[in-house]
Amino acid sequence: MTDPQPRLISQHPSTSGLQIALHPLALLTISDYITRHTLRNLPGAIVGALLGSQSGREIAIEHAYEVVTEPRNTNIVIDKVWFETKLRLFKETHPTADLLGWFTTTSSPEFAPAQTHIAVHQDLLQYNESLILLVLNPSPAAALSGGGKLPVAIYESIYEADETEANKLGLKFVPLNYTIESGEAEMIGMDFVAKGAGNASSGGGGEKTLDATTTTKVDVGTQNDELISNLTAKKNAITMLNSRIKLLLSYLQEPPNGATNHQILREIQSLTHSRLPLLKPANSRAFEQEKLAEECDVNLVVLLGAVTRSIEEVRGVGRKSAGIDHILKSAKGKGGGGPTFEDAIDFAGMGGPPGSGGRRLRGMFGL
The H-assigned helical ranges of the chain are 24-39, 80-93, 117-124, 140-145, 184-195, 197-200, 225-253, 262-274, 284-333, 341-347, 356-365
Tell me what pLDDT residue 300 has.
Answer: 93
Tell me what pLDDT residue 366 has.
Answer: 45
Closest CA to 77 of 47, 55, 57: 47
Tell me what pLDDT residue 96 has.
Answer: 87
Mean of per-residue pLDDT scores for the chain:
77
More confident residue, 318 or 196: 318
Residue-wise pLDDT tens digits, 48-83: 999 999 888 889 998 898 888 877 777 788 888 888
Residue 277 pLDDT grade (very low, low, confident, very high; cuts 50, 70, 90): low
Mean of the pLDDT values across residues 79-103? 89
Return the minimum-mean-pLDDT range out of 127-131, 205-209, 256-260, 263-267.
Answer: 205-209
Residue-wise pLDDT tens digits, 224-254: 777 787 788 888 888 888 888 888 888 888 8
Query: CA–CA separation, 164 vs 141, rounded Å?
Result: 34
Q: What percent of the chain has pLDDT over 90?
A: 13
Tell me what pLDDT residue 165 has.
Answer: 64
Cβ neighbours of 55 (radius 10 Å)? 8
Tell me what pLDDT residue 258 has.
Answer: 76
Return the minimum-mean-pLDDT range out of 90-94, 231-235, 332-336.
Answer: 332-336
| Nearby residues of 70 by Cβ (< 8 Å), 6 or more positions away | 44, 76, 77, 78, 79
Residue-wise pLDDT tens digits, 141-154: 766 555 567 888 89
Helix then strand then coil, in percent of the chain rounded to 5, is: 50, 20, 30
Residue-wise pLDDT tens digits, 8-56: 888 777 778 888 999 988 888 898 888 888 888 887 788 999 999 988 8
CA contacts within 13 A on the Cβ side of 264: 9
pTM above 0.75, yes or no: no
Tell me what pLDDT residue 199 has.
Answer: 52
Residue 206 pLDDT grade (very low, low, confident, very high; cuts 50, 70, 90): very low
Residue-wise pLDDT tens digits, 107-141: 887 888 888 888 888 888 888 888 899 999 888 77
Mean of the pLDDT values across residues 335-339? 57
Tell me what pLDDT residue 142 has.
Answer: 66
- β-pairing, 132-136 vs 98-105, is parallel
Give a three-class secondary structure readout of 103-120: EEECCCCCCCCECCHHHH
The interaxial angle of helices 184-195 and 225-253, nearest 10 deg, is 60
Mean of the pLDDT values across residues 207-234? 61
Tell me what pLDDT residue 50 has.
Answer: 92
Tell me what pLDDT residue 197 has.
Answer: 46
More confident residue, 91 or 193: 91
Tell me what pLDDT residue 299 has.
Answer: 92
Return the minimum-mean-pLDDT range out of 27-36, 82-91, 174-183, 355-364.
Answer: 355-364
Cβ neighbours of 120 (radius 10 Å)? 22
Q: Is the pLDDT of residue 316 over 60?
A: yes
Tell me what pLDDT residue 148 has.
Answer: 60
Mean of the pLDDT values across residues 288-307? 91
Query: CA–CA separation, 238 vs 273, rounded Å?
Result: 19
Closest CA to 137 of 113, 102, 121, 120: 113
